[in-house]
Amino acid sequence: MPSSWMPGLAELVFMVIFLGFGLVALLLPVIAFWKICAKAGFPGPLAVLMLVPIVNVIFPLYIAFAQWPALRGQTAPENAPTRQKNNGLIIGLVVGAVAVLMIMLMAIPAAILLPALARVPQPARRTSCANNLRQMGLVHKMFANENREQLYPELSDEPGRLMFSWQGSSEFRDVYPEYLTDLNLLLCPSDPGGNLAEELRAGGGPELLIDDHSYFYLGYAITNDREFAAFAEAYRTHVAEGKEFLDDLPVPAGTGTAGGDVILRLREGADGILFGDSGDFGRMARAQSEIPVMFDRIDNHVPMGGNVLYMDGHVEFIKYPGKWPMTEETIAILESLDAL
């Protein structure tokens, strides 16, 4: 369930300053023109027109050139009409300029603050996104614990669909709906792509919805740019030949998982397979906290970056560019694979 957003102290101060400044900027021209209209003989409430965009520029000009009812019937020197018009023109233009200036001054903090305020709910959405990934971590764990080799769901063999295949091979049960029951878990709350539930109601099935709309799933134990580049080459070969991603992927020596010659499929106990021979038990303990399972598209959040789900179930937000998988090299290759 999405978290509710509560503004922090800084956001409240910004909003109070912005609203106070805006209120002053709106009221000053209205008060000034109310006085001018009253002295000129026009109804004071006409000053409310200063709150209407465009009209607040035309209205001062009208007041400047119109005959003022308050001056009608007065005897005055010969040059009085000219002076009256000149005075009216000056007053109208000055007040009009003040009104335009106040509007411009109000636009400056608006231009500065509105983008910041628009991003305020991002932490809540990011938290909700992280919760989605944690739930997906449980889905993968349950799936792995109920099959013989403790493998995670296989990667889809459809070109460019970097997501697990919702229909398992003959050895495994289907991911959906056996383990994944809520397809909305596959949609990041900050993703501009819309609500998956709406597509589902419109007739879209899991074959449409279980895709990399918001998140990427690789299905293999990869921890750095070199391993991912090797994976990408093997991926292109596999999809070109129409093969399924059922086994470990052979790659050139030294470019595989942990410097081996294969990219291992994600599986429970991968830490022992990777580092058991080395006797580095500390490395074994850290392995599951370093191998990503799923992660955001980099444009889902502000600032750019994404939540990353690791094998041990924890989720971490990484700014882009940053540590793997949010590196420039990996994201560039990922986008090329996504476009297949």
> HEC states along the chain?
CCCCCCCCHHHHHHHHHHHHHHHHHHHHHHHHHHHHHHHHCCCHHHHHHHHCCCHHHHHHHHHHHCCCHHHCCCCCCCCHHHHHHHHHHHHHHHHHHHHHHHHHHHHHHHHHHHHHHHCCCHHHHHHHHHHHHHHHHHHHHHHHHCCCCCECCCECCCCCCCCECCCCCCCCCCCCCCCCCCHHHHCCCCCCCCCHHHHHHCCCCHHHHCCCCCEEECCECCCCHHHHHHHHHHHHHHHHCCCCECCCEECCCCCCHHHCCEECECECCHHHHHHCCCCCHHHHHHHCCCCEEEEECCCCCCCCEEEEEECCCCEEEEECCCCCCCCHHHHHHHHHHHCC
> Which one is predicted more confidently, 268 or 137?
137
- The mean of the pLDDT values for the chain is 78
Task: Indicate if 99 and 127 belong to the same structural domain.
Answer: no
Residue 6 is predicted with a pLDDT of 44
Task: Indicate if 158 and 206 belong to the same structural domain.
Answer: yes
Task: Indicate if 200 and 70 belong to the same structural domain.
Answer: no
Of 61, 86, 118, which one is at a domain's C-terminal end? Answer: 118
Residue 75 is predicted with a pLDDT of 53
Residue 4 is predicted with a pLDDT of 38
Domain membership flag for residue 93:
yes
Of 101, 118, 135, which one is at a domain's C-terminal end? Answer: 118
Domain membership flag for residue 132:
yes
Task: Indicate if 165 and 313 belong to the same structural domain.
Answer: yes
Task: Indicate if 82 and 195 belong to the same structural domain.
Answer: no
Residue 123 is predicted with a pLDDT of 76
| Lowest mean pLDDT segment, chosen from 4-13, 14-23, 132-141 | 4-13
Domain that holds residue 44: 9-118
pLDDT digits (tens, 9 = 90+) for 151-172: 999 999 999 999 998 776 555 5
Task: Indicate if 84 and 225 belong to the same structural domain.
Answer: no
Task: Indicate if 99 and 244 belong to the same structural domain.
Answer: no
Give the whole-number percent of the chain exceeding pLDDT 70. 69
Of 118, 143, 173, which one is at a domain's C-terminal end? Answer: 118
Task: Indicate if 225 and 321 belong to the same structural domain.
Answer: yes
Task: Indicate if 170 and 314 belong to the same structural domain.
Answer: yes
